[in-house]
Every structure is written in C-alpha cells, then in structure tokens.
Amino acid sequence: MPKVNSYLYPEYSLQGSLDIIRDIYDNFAGEVSRAGLASIMSMSERGGAFTDRLASFKIWNLLEGKSKLKITSYGINIITSYSPDLVIKDIILGVPLFNEIATRVDRLGGHYTKEQIKIIICDITGASIDDHDKKLNHIYTIFHQVSRYVSSKNNLENSNHSKTDAKKLKIQFDDFIIESELNISNIDTALVSLWSKRSELEINSSKSQPSPLEILIRNK
C-alpha cells in the first residue's frame, strides 16, 4: 500500500474513486470481484498499479473484502445521499494522515501553500523532503482536491442546512444507510439496494419465501 513511513495515503483521487464506486453500484448491485474491478478500470489484476488503486478504495473506506469487493456503507451513503458532504468529510478525516494535515491547516486559518503542506507532512511522518519529494507532491495534490470538505466545519453545516425543507428518504439497518431526497429515481435506487440485500439474506437462509413481486405476479 502507498505510504510515507508508517502513514498510508490513497494514491487515487477521491472523485476518481467515487466514479468507479458509482459504476459498481449502478451496474453490479454494489459488489464485484477483483477481476471485475480490474476490468472496469481497464487494468491488469496482477499489476502493481491495480494493487495501489485497490488500496486507495480501501484507504478511502469505499470498498471492503478480498476476492469479493463490496461497497461500504460510507460509499453507498455518499452516492445515494441528497447532501453527502458530511459523509465525505468523515471518510477524508478517516485517513489518519489527512486528519492530521487538516488539523494543522485549520490552525493556519484554512490557507496554505504547497510547500507548507509538504513540510507539514514531513513533520507528521518524520519523512525527508529530499527522499520523498515525489510522494509529497502527490499527497499534496490528493489532499488539495478534497480540502474544501474539511477546511471549514461551519461552511459545511450551513450548506447542508440550506436544504432541510426537502422531503427525504431514509433507510437504515445495521451499518447500511441510504439517505437522499425523496423522489422516484432515489426510490428506485433504494429498491435495487434492498433487493440486493434481500438476495444476500436469502442465500444465507435455510428458508426461502416468495418476494412481494412474485406474489403480485401470481395474483394477476
């Protein structure tokens, strides 16, 4: 996994990762094999580049599993939520290196330069700029792309509260959460997710029972 000393970092951007996650959600019911993921990204499953990309999904807490890869509850919440910014903030701060960088940037009032971030990373990790300059530049780029989500808590809260009048759809069980605007498209998306979960439970159950759809068809 990509790291600077003991600190892991995602080599693949958050937006790029979310684009792939949405593809898995829309076209494969939220679950795909390693080989399938490699195919989606037009990469070799055995290549080092694919290993780093896969590591990024896991560092961002968007995918879980080994041979079978499943979108996490965080990933589902982001792509189905009407206001995903706070969830995005959570997964960014869930990366220990980015959490520490964000804390120090806050002390600077949210303003920083590339050189400041590189020095901050070295202070956090104990790395040398001369030995890790290429990695530091890359980490800066990845962090800078998502910094707006973590730079100001108040701005995020205000932007989310501005939409409180909209009707919302919320479904939750265990760590599975769908929260989004109540409309036909999002209801359809929720039904696909629930049907996938139903199929998973049915496979693990010793008893099988007809679905509501099957009952409706029989009664016609």
Q: Is the pTM of this model over 0.85?
A: no
Q: What is the Cα–Cα distance from 141 to 143, expressed in whole angstroms?
A: 6
C-alpha distance across the termini of the chain, in Å:
55
- Could you give phi then psi for residue 66, rounded to 5 degrees? -120, -85
Q: What is the Cα–Cα distance from 180 to 168, expressed in whole angstroms?
A: 6
Q: Does the pLDDT value for residue 158 go beyond 50?
A: no
Kindly tell me the sign of the dihedral angle through the C-alpha atoms of 52, 55, 59, 61: positive
Residue in this structure with the two tokens 């600190």, named with its chain if needed: 7
- In which band, very low, low, confident or very high, does the pLDDT at 203 lie, cut at 50, 70 and 90? confident
Q: What is the Cα–Cα distance from 153 to 149, expressed in whole angstroms?
A: 8
pLDDT in tens, 2-61: 889 999 999 999 999 999 999 999 999 999 999 999 999 999 999 989 999 999 999 999
- In which band, very low, low, confident or very high, does the pLDDT at 195 lie, cut at 50, 70 and 90? confident
Q: Does the pLDDT value for residue 147 go beyond 70?
A: yes
- Interacting residues of 79 by C-beta distance below 8 A, sequence separation 6+: 18, 21, 22, 25
